[in-house]
Chains A and B, each alone.
Chain A
């Protein structure tokens, strides 16, 4: 067995559905690993399977999901064989998660104090008084200015940035080994986004915590994560070191995604952007062969029929060699 903190080999997730006789194949042959203290960036558009993968790691998929994997191991626990009682220890304890919209992730009827103490008591078995002290300390660690006042606040009294800091404080209260951050800054302003991402980065280094940072913004990944995997239609299309992938993408999808950002290169104002035509295929209309071929500029006849595997970190039989094709 490997020494990775989380090791995933050939993860497949299907969903049963009444309408379709064949189950929907949401995530295909996904393999990746993450080591202690490492950050992994995951980029993809909606429908690429990134959130479903996170839910699978958290054991939060609905009953209709069928999960299979050659290896799906977190910290020596085979996740697919866990009992409910063990899950309760791992979920929120060793693996924590923060969400896109901090406002809807907090319960609006309960004070920050109640919600934090509840979490800490559940995972650490501390007394109420100890839990309160730890809460103050955690709020201080995540950069909240007056922890005592904020502890008695209700979520509606917090700004978006502060609410996300509270969420992070709750997530790290159990000293998790792995933190999953699912689009943690999408709902926030740029200046606040920078504060939150810098906070996550410093927590990663200070606590030697692993982070999976999911985002649709390649800029965020480029600035904060050393490793990245790009997902498209339930598959990883490219994975590796962020710097190499951003400077010389091999997969046409990665390249197109980079180029279609308005700020990718300094252009004259109001020039037409090199966009990707069409949309991400829906779960029940996935094409044969390469998932990206209907939208790809470089499609050849052999892309359409055969199943394409991930080779040297790129799922393409005609990878780009000169990096960015403008």
Chain B
């Protein structure tokens, strides 16, 4: 794909010091759910370190706990046990408000179903991510334009999601994930709804951004082809990490 990500490392704020340093440090991480009197341990004592700038794939069948782990990594959920440090902060026990703030400033998301706002244009969808950070509306649009250019959609700024192809929508989502210059992009099955060619294009875009922006990427996927494109593959089963290619 003709993705042409510009070098944004110069603009990246010093949210997290130095590439290669640990971004995530998980120790004995637990997440249990109570459902109708039954306790389900979705994540069971996970120890994991993800370094800054890494591109990690998280694999496993349904019910393996990879989605729960992804939510914990994305600060969308809080653990019930153990610790999870992200960019030198312990996410365990943080309030919803604090987690929201961390997500707004330091984490980007890419979803399987793109999750674009149907009533906003490509540009609007990217800009809306900057709204919680009190970025001036003019500046938001400028940055959105810039990011969409980076993902090769400079000519689609004013298109509604319904007028874009799946691959284009996902690239808009990637631009949105980058809007607040995050340290990490959490991608949940980013190619799950795309054909294999488009999936490759999207992955190429992500890989290019990782290199240009120095952003850490965690991808949950079933797709062997996608996983093979990452630096490190972590396999889960029954809430535990069964295999880590880095180990």
Q: Do A and B come from one complex?
A: no
